[in-house]
Structure 1
Amino acid sequence: MQKLAILIYSVLAFLLISFTSFAQTTQTFSADDYTYRTALELFDREKYATAQKAFQDYIDLNKGDLLTVEAKYYVAICALYLENDDAEPTIERFIAEYPNHPKAAMAYYEMGNYYFNQKNTEKAIAYFEKVDISSLSKEQQVEAKFKLAYLYFSKQDFLKAGNLFDELKRSNNKYTYAASYYAGYCNYRKGSYTEALTDLKRAAQSPEYAPMVPYMIVNVYYKQGKYDELIEYAQTLGTSKDIRNADEVFLLVGESYYRKGDYANAARYLKESVGKTKSRPAPEIAYRLGYAQYKTGDFKSAAENFKITATTAKDTLAQYASYHMGLSYLQSGNKPFALTAFDQARRGKASKQVAEDAAYYHAKVSFETNAGPETTALLKDFLKNYPTSSYKNEINELLSESYLASNNYNEAIAHIEAIPNRTPKIDEAYQRVTFNKGAEFFNKDQYNEALTQFQKSLSRPKVTEVAIAAHFWSGETQSAVQNYPSAINEYAAVFREPESKNTEYYNRSRYGIGYAYYNNKEYDKAATHFREYTTAVGPNGKNYADALVRLADCQYVAKNFDAAIQLYDQALALPGSEKDYILFQKANALNFAGRDEEARRTFDELSNKYSSSRYADNAMYQRADVDFEKGNYNAAITGFTRVIESNAASGVVPYALQKRALAYSNLQQYDKAIADYQRILDKYPTSKVSNSALLGLQETLASAKRSDEFGTYLEKYRRANPQDNSTESIEFDAAKSLYLNEKYPQAISAMEAYIRNHPDSEQKYDARYYIADSYYKFGDRANAVKNFQLVISEGRSQYLVRSVSRMGDLELNAKNYSSAAGYYRRLLTASQSKKDQTAALSGLMESYYQLPNYDSARYYISQVVATGGSSPSAVNKALLYKGKSYYLQNNYEKAVDELLSAANAAQDEYGAEAQYLVADALYKQKKYKESLEMCFAVNDKFGSFEKWRGKAFLLVADNYVALDETFQAKATLQSIIENSGDKEVVAEAKNKLKALESK
């Protein structure tokens, strides 16, 4: 009992003591620890400055209990959140002082969080690594691990990051899906693609990460080369708009299709990807998109994407892109753009095979577009650079054909003639190129050289059409050098070819052979061919009117005057420029047919309607002669007087004087007759009627009982017409021989000596002409002008008309265009031949064009074109000038029409300039695409004319700039710089290229 009491007492005492102790503690906390509780509440409310002070107040109580330790912890943490300078040292001191305290681990944790939030990766990692994870709550452990893993991830330390993410992804926590996503990425970076897929698919279960996962999953599949799985997975995504990096997803889908060779789908998805980025794609992507489009036939789009790569990538990719860009342009029919692309690719150094392929296409396309003389050089260079190429045989074939297409005829002919064993294709090329060279010589009036080339062409008659053309132009050339029998043989050779009836040359040869017979005075044969020609071509046919007139002339010569008159009347009813000649011939035919009154009316019609015609004086003369022959001497005298007084310089005047003298004699008006005869012997002692005038004078003086006066005129006649063995004649002929042998200084001295020795000789006037022309021919313009003007002012030389022509030429060359026009007008009036007439018209055209007086120029241009005697070269120049006159007046629409006519009609330099000006006129009208076509036509048709070809390609570059095709413009200018032989063109190309590159 006593022991139990003692036990109970002891328990009660213990309980009492314990209760008393508890009561005392509660009373102390309530009183002393109020500050701590207040500080903790302030801390929780993020009032860190106030909280720090309250915690410090608690520490200052010096209680040394557990709350004091925790207060120190919170003071340090408040300093951290307040960003005090002493925060980190304060925390470090706390940890050093209480290393085993639970708050020490929390201090590291808080420091890690703080620097994590501050994005101070290094410090955050350092503190998180010091945290004793086991001392943290589970929630804090997850937080610390995730943040530390993320920090490792941000430093691309995927091994450490992956290990922590792997831990987190295996448990159910707030970071499970995030950890799965990042673990997937880490495994992807480490090449653990299977694990990565598992992680990413788990992350996809989270709404937060579901939009981000597809991009990573398709990347994994792509890295694995599992293109089918990638495509299948992408199809499950549908058209969701929430997918992040959708452009990249589409890109990899497109890339997968590309790797599988499914270019249609590749193009679709790659295009979709590029469209979503709304910016220029990377060179590699643009290349693959372009290639996919190329493979599926979308060549225009392909070319654009290849262009992006070619202009932004370098080396290998740029070379491949340029090559495939060329193929794309080629497939879409844009050969000019293809050329520049292949040109870029063949210059690349990264791939020899691509360079070879590109060089092949560049040469081939150049040939196909007739890209001018460099085509031959390109083909030859290819064989030189790639002698064992698989393209060798084809290039050799193209090379032989390129001579046919090339306008560099001299090089082509020399090359082919050097080939010992020619193939049929080469022979065909030779036939064509020698024909073209002959045509070029013909257009330059170099007839002997033209004949040589035409005969070469005919030596290899592989193509009948070309042989027919060569025979025709040989005929034209022989006619031009007045070798009419040979011309007839050449025209006849055309008729012997059965196929000629289907060509233009059949009727043209009929017309040509008619003229050859006509000029050879075989009028009956000429008539046959002119008749067949007019029947074949009809009234609307070319040269119909002219052929009709020649047919009439043949009837006239055959004295079939009624038939001739009928034909002349038909010709008068047609438009044309020979109405004066036709009237003259008709009047003569009427006269010979005895239809006198009609003849008089027709002669009057000619002289009145065409008073400036070269036939006007002769018409008046013939009109008077009709009266004379009928014995109407008074009327005849009136008519002859009209001739004499209307144009004293006319060559008809001596004849009119002689006939008037006869009329006076028949009327027994001897004094007047004697005066006319004397006038002939005084002014025209060397004319063809001077002998008749002398005889007439003798008879008339006798009739007038004045025979004693005859001796004076007989002596004058003898001096003017010396016998061949006289000293004067020998001296003149010797001087003339020096002139004819082109010994002009000696000829001048000899002729001047002749004039001094024989001042009264009528031949001194011709001697003056020879002096003038000798100065002209060795280039002494001043003395030539001085002496020609003397010849013209004296008006006594038989070379008066030629002197007027020479003065026109001299003034034109000196750019005295108004003066030149005056001489050419005089030449036109005085001309007695077709040659002089066409020379005058050409001179007037040139003078008025250069003044400039374009209205007058165009009038004479039409005359040059319409006149049958104008050479092809003169006609081509006239057509060019007509177009240029409108061009220079800024009337570009009219200019284009006229210049196109010139370019289509000519194959010479005038045609080349016309074609270029068409292109330039279109450019000035901002018709850039049409201008490009005309530029390439210069290249195609007139490639041998380096100047105009070069200018055309400069204009090509300008058009490309205007069309915003800078790549093509630069490539074109670079090609000009490297290939053109024209220094001025190259200099301009360099300036243009420099300007483009500076933009």
Structure 2
Amino acid sequence: MISLAVTVEVCAAAEGSDPALDKFYNANALCRRGLYPLAIKDFEAFLSAHPKHEKVPQAQWGLAICYYSSGEMAKAAPLFEKLVGNAHVTDQEQLHNLWGSSLVELGKCAEAVKAFEWTLSRGKTAARKADALAGLTQAHSLLKDWAAAARTGDELVKLAPDSPYADLVRYQAAVARLNLDQHADAIRAFEGLIASSKNAEIVHQSVFRAAECLVKLKKPADAIQMYETAATTRTGEYSELACFNLGLLQFETGDYAAAIATLKNFPKKYPESALADDVGLFLGRSYLESKKYREAVSTFEGILGGLKGAAPKGPKKQKPPPGRPLVVSDSSVGAQATLWLIRTYARQGQYTTARELLAPVVGNYRDDPVSAELYYELATADMQTGQYASAARYFAESERGKDPLPSESLRLRAFCLYRDGKCRESLPLCDSFLTKYPDSPHKAEVLFIKGENLVALLRLTDAIGVFEAALAAGPDEAKIKQSHLRIAQAYYHEKKWAECVEALGPLLEADPPVQGDAAGKKPRQGPKKKPSAPEDGLYDQVWFMAGDCRFRLEQWPKAIEALATFLDRHPDEANADKARYNLALAYQKVEKTAEAIATLKPFLHGAKQPDAEAEALRVRALLLLGRLQFETGDYQQAQDTLKRLGDHPDAIYYLGWIAMKRNDTSGAIQHFGAAAQQGKPALAADAALQRAV
């Protein structure tokens, strides 16, 4: 708080003066010497004895100053107000400033603003105007009129940069800009104070406030440094909160080791802190995120052990430190510690332990802000351990929480009732979810549950439409994978290529290609997501089906992606050779000859196939490979490839072209002659022509 300096006018006793003034002059002398309690007695005695004396205004002025200087603002303010405009008090500028300052101390900041503004508008003395600006800045700050506080603070610095209040006013103006979300301007002001101010407390508070600005500016690394400085080296009244915010920010930025070190040390520095419970909670959470589960459990249990019967904790006895924590919760520490203890067990998959601990106490926190989250954790633990009936009941409780709990709880409640065999109860919940959350990312899953309920109720026609709606709704869920596959297989066998691709969509999205699936790139290390169905082999062909459909639809880039993905994952499975051949053709369509050649090269290592269809495919692949090698000018490789096909007329035909390109006229005549006799009509005709040439 700004306490304006007082300049005391002393009235010296004149020789032969009125004896009635003895008390008056004595009071003035005592006031001048700073003996305010004694001066107050003499001023009060004089005013009581001579209420109509001509010196009453000066006595009241002196008494007001003494009250002000003694901190008795409730007595000073009325006297200052009474003397406003009194001709016997010549320094009306100081009077208005002191009046305003006393009003600020009394919390009457709106009235104080008027007093200070009088000095600014009617005063003649620069020093008095500077004092008024200092008082105004403080009053505006207390009124949270941040724009006005920033403006008057700037005016003071401009008018009187050497004012004794300059640093404090600069600080208040910077805080105003912080509250106006002018964080860049605010931090420049705080940094200026850190660099120039001689007031250690102002420097400390500026460091703390600068950290707050840096948090708002999303510069956590710089904010951490500032909080650490405010907590350890440039210390002051915000050091306790700076230490807490430091640990919290380290936690939020994922530096859990640093957060643990900071938060573990906090109770040693501040053993009586009102933030002790919050520190413990974030220490436990830091352990949890570090996967130090034993330490996390110990920390949360330690918090609960300090509470009577683990009941919700009442108001903290200690006074909170000044400032604003980065995180503020209305929840009781008992509820939060319980919640995070349960999450620690759940994170380890220990759902049985979680439900055994939480079930007996969850009702104790029914009125707590995190009650719904506790019920959700209990419901999840029951669901994970197959206790679907009780899980459904608890999910009904967690529906009353904040987003996203209502939608999540309704969805999982419908699922649990379905798994519990209560399909008639689950079905209306599915409809309720789809009505309330039509754009939910879980729409497909709920449609699937609805479809499964309809199947169980033997409403098969309705179920087919619902499954199709689920497939069209979006991302795949493990529970509906097999339905996607079956519908896709049906479309495939009906040669409805576009419909098959659409039906395969969620399956492909759940197991997408990654960089390296395409031929010629680094092989992938494995599928992104392992199929969840027990018959994993059922899904081996989905990328082939997708690629074959895209190929038939002449969607070459997508065909390439799908077929390359299939070959990368299942190079020796059924349809692998067909996929290679079609992939090479697709590459050829997009003029990627090198990729096509690379794709076909595995056929060079294959022997003649006993199966007629497989052998025909091998021959076509080698012919295509040889032709592509020829077209790229790699005549030797093309010749080697085509010779693998023996007397095949197409191979002989291209061998003729190779000989001609090499100026081997006799070889060309020989090959073209053979092709003319054995080849297909069009090929034979061209072979005969080339032989003649």
TMscore range, shorter length: 0.3 to 0.5
TM-score when scaled to structure 2?
A: 0.48
Please tell me whether Structure 1 or Structure 2 has the larger radius of gyration of its CA atoms: 1
Superposition TM-score, scaled by structure 1 size = 0.35
